[in-house]
Amino acid sequence: MALQLKTFESVDELYDFAAQFLQQKVKEGAKTFGLATGGTMQPLYKNLRQSDVDFSNCTSFNLDEYIGLPIEHPESYFTYMQKELFEHKPFSKNYLPNGLAEDADAEAAHYNELLAQHPVDVQLLGVGENGHIGFNEPGTPFSEKTHVVTLTASTREANARFFNSIDEVPEKAITMGIANILQAKEVLLIAVGEKKRAALESLVRGEVSVDSPITVLQQHANAVVLTDLNISLA
Q: Which residues are catalytic?
A: 64, 130, 132, 137
Round to whole Å and give the CA distance between 198 and 128: 10
